[in-house]
């Protein structure tokens, strides 16, 4: 085996990196191009791995063979090699943990992709000082009339300072550039320039369910509050500049690659506000048509018109049906919004909202239509009271049209009761949970007490009742898209701020938590048996991890990344030793994008140092550290890239 982690005669570390500079390894006989992925031209072997298969009949292995996008053989290296063709490409895992590709059962990836390149991410940033330094640097890069946006994925409790920036700090950091900061579902901070850009003044009325905070003279201060409806936050954000279509394509590709870098290979998109079908799906459908998708996406359709929800679903179900599409992109069903009168926003800083008396009369015809047309649905429901009223409707419809086999489910369910868990089980439904409590647990405890938080949500009871349970993030606005934060929360019971919420009885062991992020989530997209395990015949989606999830200390779980991600046996992400196997991405567009400088989820320095230690060269480059391929694959404004980087002290060419 060679230092690149890829085994084949004549390909060493220096040759592979130099090949990247010329045309990348994708042009070599080893790999052929398949859309935005590197597909082996023959069988692919991964050897010297610690494989968590999640196949109970074959739980552990050290090698796997892949053919035609599916796992061919899983087991000991000798038997796996015997099953593969003699000229199979070989990747040396170097003892790393290989797991099935992660599946997020609740994320807003289609909407998120359209905006990803515009957003500065504070996800995982450990201090407010760091966050504000990032913001000031982005303000300096951002041209008028563009905004600097921090759109969710963080909480003040993750910061060492345990607070948000003040409006005075924002105005000092950005006197002229509009700044919009969304914090969970509860508030947004706008500097004075942003208030001017959106036109909020003394005469701007408060919208229903929201508040524009004002000073003694009646002028907006820049604080917007969801009380408890988040519409004021999202409608204000929607006033900002949008990316042109070409940039949205680029942005979506970068967001998908960011998720690939965390080991995610499949998602179920939960629709979203201000995400209209089919108009706002044009970008993802173009990427699908062009073979540029590096995630498998099953999408749900989210109603967009209050009082016209039934018409929305009647129209859509006349033209499309669940399952339309293929393994990369397919319609999953309806929701998470079915009717606006049944949406209970989960801002735990305010009292639980009461659903209006017309909830049931609005919901029943929609559910009846979906049941008649055999459309699975998902329904956003935070509180047990909302779930109970929705179940009254579901049980009524079930008496006429059996719901068994529809794979319908509730999302969130933080305060669900034992009785309602049993009612869901009786109707054949499921529950998709997200790690929102990891971001809002402190607020829940402040309002309801630590005892009430001990089983919020009661995942162990859900599973004991036989209800299908899957895990996700609800990214990008209310929580981060990082699946390892969710896995840490499931295993440790702690918030990102370090507060212990759950006793051992409501925590999961590491393998069970991983199952909720893999095979269990296939129920929610009606794809059981197709993916989610490393097993012969299943789709060859897998992630080779930077740290051993099964053994790493608990406090390191959130910092795990994938060093090599496969989708159907094709390389869609690689870093460190495997960087040269990954297909190149175009530069982020526009050139001032935060993604071009700080990227996405915060990279822990210890992880970066470990990658450097594993590089295999004698010393890091003065410009690029140990990310040598960044220099060799860069599009620099020079006919002689070697001389160009050499002026700055780059030593990547000597590696």
Q: C-alpha angle with apex 154: 166 to 188, nearest 5 degrees?
A: 45
pLDDT, mean of residues 45-55: 98
Q: What is the pLDDT of residues 549-577, one digit of tens each?
A: 999 999 999 999 999 999 999 999 999 99
Give the least confident one: 275-284, 318-327, 538-547: 275-284
More confident residue, 150 or 7: 150
Are the C-beta atoms of 31 and 40 separated by less than 8 Å?
A: yes
| Res 649 pLDDT > 50 | no
Mean pLDDT across the chain: 90
Q: How confident is the model at residue 308 (pLDDT cuts 50, 70, 90)?
A: very high
Q: In a 3-state reduction of DSSP, which class is residue 325?
A: strand
Bridge partners, 98 (sequence order)? 51, 544
Q: What is the pLDDT of residues 22-44, one digit of tens each?
A: 333 333 334 544 456 666 668 99
Burial of 119 (0-12, 13-18, 19+ CB in 10 A): buried
| Res 623 pLDDT > 70 | no
Give the least confident one: 363-372, 550-559, 644-653: 644-653
Give the least confident one: 5-19, 63-77, 518-532: 5-19
pLDDT, mean of residues 63-67: 98
Q: How confident is the model at residue 60 (pLDDT cuts 50, 70, 90)?
A: very high
Closest CA to 478 of 117, 102, 111: 111
CB count, 10 Å around CB of 420?
21
| Res 139 pLDDT > 60 | yes
| pLDDT at site 41 | 64
| Res 644 pLDDT > 60 | no
Closest CA to 346 of 488, 208, 443: 443
Distance CA 18, CA 632 (A): 7
| pLDDT at site 209 | 86
Alpha helices in 119-174 (DSSP H): 128-141, 167-173
Q: What is the pLDDT of residues 385-431, one digit of tens each?
A: 999 999 999 999 999 999 999 999 999 999 999 999 999 999 999 99
Q: In a 3-state reduction of DSSP, which class is residue 205?
A: coil
pTM, to two decimals: 0.89
| Res 20 pLDDT > 70 | no
Q: How confident is the model at residue 272 (pLDDT cuts 50, 70, 90)?
A: confident
| pLDDT at site 456 | 97
Distance CA 382, CA 443 (A): 15
| Res 626 pLDDT > 90 | no
| pLDDT at site 633 | 41
Q: How confident is the model at residue 608 (pLDDT cuts 50, 70, 90)?
A: low
| pLDDT at site 185 | 87
Full strand arrangement of the beta sheet holding 378-381: 378-381, 409-412, 430-434, 469-472
Handedness of CA 612, 617, 618, 620 (dihedral sign): negative
List Cα–Cα distances, 135 to 120, 126, 130, 180, in angstroms: 8, 14, 9, 11
Are the C-beta atoms of 256 and 378 separated by less than 8 Å?
A: no
| pLDDT at site 275 | 84
List of residues 6+ apart from 14 with CB closer than 8 A:
655
pLDDT, mean of residues 316-342: 97
| Res 255 pLDDT > 70 | yes
| Res 21 pLDDT > 80 | no
């Amino acid at each position: 085996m060679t230092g690149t982690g890829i085994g084949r005669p004549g390909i060493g570390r220096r040759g592979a990196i130099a090949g990247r500079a010329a045309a990348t390894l994708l042009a070599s006989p080893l790999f052929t191009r398949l859309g935005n992925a590197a597909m082996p031209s023959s069988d692919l072997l991964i050897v010297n791995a610690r494989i968590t298969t999640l196949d109970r009949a074959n739980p552990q292995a050290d090698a796997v063979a892949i053919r035609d996008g599916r796992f061919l053989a899983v087991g000991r290296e000798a038997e796996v090699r015997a099953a593969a063709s003699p000229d199979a490409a070989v990747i040396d895992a170097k003892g790393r943990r290989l797991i099935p590709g992660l599946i997020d059962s609740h994320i807003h990836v289609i909407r998120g992709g359209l905006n990803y390149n515009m957003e500065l991410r504070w996800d995982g940033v450990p201090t407010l000082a760091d966050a504000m330094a990032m913001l000031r640097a982005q303000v300096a890069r951002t041209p008028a009339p563009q905004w600097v946006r921090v759109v969710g994925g963080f909480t003040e409790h993750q910061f060492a300072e345990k607070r948000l920036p003040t409006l005075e700090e924002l105005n000092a950091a950005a006197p002229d550039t509009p700044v919009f900061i969304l914090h969970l579902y509860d508030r947004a901070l706008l500097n004075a320039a942003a208030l001017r850009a959106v036109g909020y003044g003394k005469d701007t009325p408060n919208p229903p369910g929201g508040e524009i905070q004002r000073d003694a003279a009646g002028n907006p201060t820049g604080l917007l509050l969801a009380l408890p409806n988040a519409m004021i936050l999202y409608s204000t954000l929607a006033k900002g500049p949008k990316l042109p279509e070409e940039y949205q394509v680029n942005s979506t590709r970068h967001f998908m690659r960011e998720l690939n870098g965390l080991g995610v290979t499949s998602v179920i998109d939960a629709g979203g506000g201000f995400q209209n079908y089919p108009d706002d799906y044009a970008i993802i459908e173009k990427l699908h048509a062009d073979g540029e998708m590096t995630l498998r996406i099953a999408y749900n359709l989210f109603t967009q018109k209050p009082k016209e929800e039934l018409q929305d679903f009647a129209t859509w179900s006349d033209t499309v049906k669940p399952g339309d599409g293929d393994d990369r992109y397919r319609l999953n069903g309806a929701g998470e919004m079915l009717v606006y009168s049944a949406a209970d926003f989960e801002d735990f800083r305010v009292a639980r909202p009461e659903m209006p008396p017309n909830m049931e009369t609005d919901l029943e015809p929609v559910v009846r239509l979906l049941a008649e047309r055999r459309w699975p649905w998902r329904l956003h429901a935070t509180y047990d009271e909302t779930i109970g009223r929705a179940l009254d409707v579901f049980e009524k419809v079930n008496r006429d049209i059996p719901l068994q086999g529809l794979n319908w489910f509730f999302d969130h369910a933080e305060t669900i009761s034992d009785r309602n868990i049993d009612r869901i089980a009786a109707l054949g439904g499921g529950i998709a949970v997200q790690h929102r409590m990891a971001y809002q647990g402190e607020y829940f405890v402040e309002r309801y007490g630590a005892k009430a938080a001990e089983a919020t949500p009661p995942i162990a009871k859900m599973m004991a009742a036989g209800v299908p349970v899957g895990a996700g993030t609800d990214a990008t606005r209310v929580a981060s898209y990082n699946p390892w934060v969710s896995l840490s929360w499931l295993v440790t019971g702690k918030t990102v701020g370090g507060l212990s919420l759950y006793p051992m009885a409501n925590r999961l062991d590491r393998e069970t938590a991983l199952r909720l992020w893999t095979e269990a989530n296939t129920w929610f997209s009606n794809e059981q048996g197709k993916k989610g395990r490393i097993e012969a015949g299943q789709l060859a989606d897998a992630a080779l991890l930077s740290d051993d999830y099964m053994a790493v200390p608990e406090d390191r779980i959130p910092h795990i990344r994938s060093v090599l991600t496969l989708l159907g046996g094709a390389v869609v992400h690689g870093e460190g030793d495997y960087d040269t196997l990954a297909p190149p991405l175009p530069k982020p567009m526009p050139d001032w994008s935060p993604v071009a400088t700080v990227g996405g989820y915060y990279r822990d320095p210890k992880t970066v140092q470990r990658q450097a230690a594993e590089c295999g060269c004698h010393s890091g480059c003065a410009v690029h550290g140990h990310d040598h391929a960044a220099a060799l694959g860069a599009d620099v404004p020079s006919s002689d890239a070697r001389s160009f980087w050499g002026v700055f002290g780059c030593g990547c060419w000597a590696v």
